[in-house]
Amino acid sequence: MQLLVNALLAGSLLALVAGGLSLVYGVLGVFNLALGQLALVGGYATWWLTQQMGLPLLLSIPLGAVIGGLVTWASFELAVAPFYRHHRFLPLVTTIALGMMLDAALLLLFEERPRAILSSEKHMIEFFRMRFSLEQALLVCATILFLLATAAVLQRTALGRRIRATAGHPDAARSLGINSSVLHRMLFIGSGVLAALGGIYMGIDQNLTPTLAFSLTIKAYAALIAGGKDNLFGTILMSYVIALLEQLLVGLPWAAGQYLPAGYQSVVALLFIVVVLLIKPSGLFSSHLRIT
């Protein structure tokens, strides 16, 4: 049972980052490899607001997300907007460069030392032999609510319909009067805000260091690819599945009470993509109808 709690904790972080990724890839068809860095921007901004400026946490979190969104906007104008219409793989290179620049900037601004957004002790709860902190429970609930809200916007509102229309057939959508360039901007910024929330999540639950951006990006891509490249729900579900698999693999005894070495934990995500792609190359939850 404790493993389930652990998986929820790890999966929620992954779902936030991967969810944003899925929105952008589904609609723009663009790979954003600086997403992990953008998550860190949000996390560090929130850390700075609470720990250095002394703002209350509930105010710093939305402000941190806004700062994450603004930086994402700037990166879109700088590294994606001028290129992605020429070829959808160009941003792949420019966002790598952007990620490196952000890495260096974070290192200069916030130094090497680990930064935690919450400095006080956590309030631990024991519940049916599962241990977690009040803060963690709130984080997971907030994440799930937020993701559900995003999904509701996508499915139930006129804006969501436009987004889905543009994802399905950009040219047709444009001919029907949908302003795709504004939509693209909004989505890209939205993905940055989601990622920034992921960074804040990490800063509260664990700590922030400037070097963990890339591994975060990689894991988010694993969830994206396994979930079907343009399906938000699939990606979110796969985030939790990958987290659960990671926990089960090293947390449960396998043959004859032997445990698998913990070093293999991070292989799970990558192995999982390989298996999924072998079974269903388009990802578990993607539908071909949209593309044709």
Partner 1 sequence: MKRLIALSVLSTLLLTACKASGDTIKIGFIGPLTGDAAALGKDILNGTQIAVEEVNANGGINGKQVQIITEDGRCSGSDATNAAQKLINIDHVVAIVGGSCSSETLAAAAVAESAKTIVMSPSASSPDITQAGEYIFRVYPSDAYKTTAMVKLFQERKYKKIALITENNDYAVAIRIGLKEKLLKDMFVLDEVVDLGTKDFRSVITRLKNQQFDVFIPNASQNAVMGEMIKQFREMGFLQPIVTQDVADTADVLQMVGDQENNVWTFNVPDAGKDTVFEKQFDSSYGKPQAGIVWAAYGYDATRVLLSALQQAQDGESLSKNLLNLQEFKGLIGTFHFDENGDVLGIPLALKQYQAGKIVTIKDIPVD
Please, which of residues 143-202 interact with partner 1 by CB under 8 A?
none
Length of the chain: 292
Contact between 196 and 65 (Cβ < 8 Å)? yes
Q: According to CB under 8 A, which one of 124, 138, 271, 291 is a site residue for partner 1?
A: 124
Nearest distance from C-beta of residue 261 to partner 1, angstroms:
7
Which residue number, 208 or 236, has a Cβ lying nearer to partner 1?
Answer: 208
Q: According to CB under 8 A, which one of 9, 27, 34, 220 is a site residue for partner 1?
A: 9
From the centroid of its chain, how far is CA 24? 11
Any idea what the Cα angle at residue 4 is, between residues 243 and 127, rounded to 5°?
A: 145
Q: Residue 29 is which amino acid?
A: G
**100 touches partner 1 by CB under 8 A:** no
Any idea what the Cα angle at residue 31 is, between residues 75 and 237, rounded to 5°?
A: 115
Q: According to CB under 8 A, which one of 62, 215, 254, 271 is a site residue for partner 1?
A: 215
**120 touches partner 1 by CB under 8 A:** yes
Q: According to CB under 8 A, which one of 85, 131, 156, 290 is a site residue for partner 1?
A: 131
Nearest distance from C-beta of residue 284 to partner 1, angstroms:
24
Please, which of residues 28-67 interact with partner 1 by CB under 8 A?
none
**258 touches partner 1 by CB under 8 A:** no
**206 touches partner 1 by CB under 8 A:** yes
Contact between 7 and 243 (Cβ < 8 Å)? yes
Beta bridge partners, 126, equal 131
Q: How many alpha carbons lie under 13 Å from residue 2 in its C-beta half-sphere?
A: 10
Give CA–CA dist 17/220, Å, rounded: 6
Q: According to CB under 8 A, which one of 133, 169, 178, 287 is a site residue for partner 1?
A: 133
**126 touches partner 1 by CB under 8 A:** yes
Q: Helices 158-168 and 134-156: crossing angle, nearest 10°? A: 70
Residue in 219, 198, 231, 229 with CA at minimum distance from that of residue 40: 198
Q: According to CB under 8 A, which one of 12, 32, 247, 286 is a site residue for partner 1?
A: 247
**256 touches partner 1 by CB under 8 A:** no
**257 touches partner 1 by CB under 8 A:** no
Give CA–CA dist 250/9, Å, rounded: 16
**Which residues make up the interface to partner 1 (CB under 8 A)?**
2-3, 5-6, 9-10, 107, 111-114, 116, 119-122, 124, 126, 131, 133, 206-207, 209, 211-212, 215, 246-247, 250-251, 259, 261-263, 265-266
